[in-house]
Each structure stands twice: as C-alpha cells, then as structure tokens.
C-alpha cells in the first residue's frame, strides 16, 4: 500500500512539473503590464453589440429604459477616438477645439447629447465599461434615464493601445415638444 502511495505521489509530482506557468511581465512600477487585446475586423460588430447588451443590462438593473445603437452617434465616437490617438491624450475636446456637442452636430445628430465617456487603455470593452461604472460621473452618463440612443467606437493603435468613446443621446422623438 505504501509503495502504491509513493508511486502515485511521484507520478503527480512528475505531472505537475510538466505544467508551465508564465509569470506576468512587470512594468517599472512593479505592477503587471496589461495583456494585449487585439481587435480584428471580424470582431468589430460583436464588440459594439456586446457593449450595447452590457449597457442595456446595467440600465435595466437601474430602472432605465434600454438604448439603441445610433449610427450618427457612433460616427461621432469613432471620429473622436481617432482624434484622441492623434493628440495622444484622453480628453473631451477635439484637436480643432470641438466639444462633444459640436461633434454630434457635425454628424447630423438631431437629438440631444446626453454625455460622452472616453478611455485610453489596453483593456477590453467590458473592462472599460466596468471602470466607467466605478466612477460617479461616467456611470451617470451610462445610466442617464433620458438617453435612448448610444454611439460606441474605438481606435486601436499599432502598439495595441485602444482609445474608447461612448456617446449617449436622446433622440428627437424622445424630446418633449412644447
């Protein structure tokens, strides 16, 4: 019996020696460097709808109506994501000084801007959404009960850095006339 137990122990140790664990690469600050999240052309539609479904799940949990993906808001988001990369800084103003209000007007959006969330990261869209939900101001944009439309886009640099932009709006049909 002891002999069988020793053989099993040796066998398990031998098998465990076969597994390799890769230690994370550490940055200058001693923290693990982010893993590269590469977005392919075939992933683009899935990413937009995964974000839309996630936003709507969060909105439903908070009692807000769902939003629909809007092409004009998405165009404004895409333009701003690329522009942030050109400027190499995440901020709400374009390289030409444009504000989010001006950008949605330029693409012909007839509704009201609800807000804009931006991020510069190597993280996935869902990790970015989670980070936005942790902050009061960006969470407010996502859960705004008056919004019924959303635009979402990104720009990924060759080095893997991703510039995310989410724009929320209220369609013309949802704005009370009076």
User: Which of 47, 74, 55, 53 shows the shortest CA–CA distance to 143?
Assistant: 55
Mean pLDDT of 95-115: 94
Position 164 scores a pLDDT of 96
pLDDT one-digit tens code per residue, 68-101: 999 999 999 999 999 999 988 788 888 788 999 9
Give the pLDDT band of residue 1 (cuts 50, 70, 90): low
Q: What is the pTM of this model?
A: 0.78
Mean pLDDT of the chain: 86
Using H for helix, E for strand and C for coil, what is the string for the chain? CHHHHHHHHHHHHHHHHHCCCCCCCECCCCCECCCCCCCCHHHHHHHHHHHHHHHHHHHHHHCCCCCEECHHHHHHHHHHHHHHHHHCCCCCCCCCCCCHHHHHHHCCCCCEEEEEEEEEECCCHHHHHHHHHHCHHHHHHHHCCCCCEEEEEEEECCCCCEEEEEEEEECHHHCCCC
Higher pLDDT, 53 or 173: 53
Position 162 scores a pLDDT of 93
Position 34 scores a pLDDT of 60
pLDDT > 80? residue 32: no
Lowest mean pLDDT among 10-19, 92-101, 109-118, 154-163: 10-19
Position 19 scores a pLDDT of 47
């Amino acid at each position: 019996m002891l002999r069988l137990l020793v053989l099993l122990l040796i066998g398990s140790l031998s098998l465990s020696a076969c597994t390799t664990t890769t230690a994370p690469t550490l940055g200058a600050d001693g923290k693990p460097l982010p893993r590269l999240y590469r977005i392919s052309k075939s992933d683009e539609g899935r990413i937009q709808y995964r974000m839309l479904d996630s936003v709507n799940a969060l909105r439903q949990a908070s009692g807000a109506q769902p939003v629909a993906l809007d092409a004009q808001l998405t165009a404004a988001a895409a333009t701003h994501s690329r522009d942030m990369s050109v400027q190499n800084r995440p901020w709400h103003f374009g390289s030409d000084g444009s504000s989010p209000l001006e950008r949605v007007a330029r693409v012909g959006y007839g509704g009201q801007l609800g807000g804009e969330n931006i991020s510069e990261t190597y993280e996935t869209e869902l990790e970015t959404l989670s980070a936005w939900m942790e902050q009061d101001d960006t969470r407010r944009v996502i859960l705004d009960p008056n919004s019924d439309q959303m635009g979402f886009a990104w720009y990924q640099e060759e080095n893997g850095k991703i510039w995310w932009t989410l724009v929320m709006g209220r369609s013309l049909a949802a704005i009370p006339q009076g």
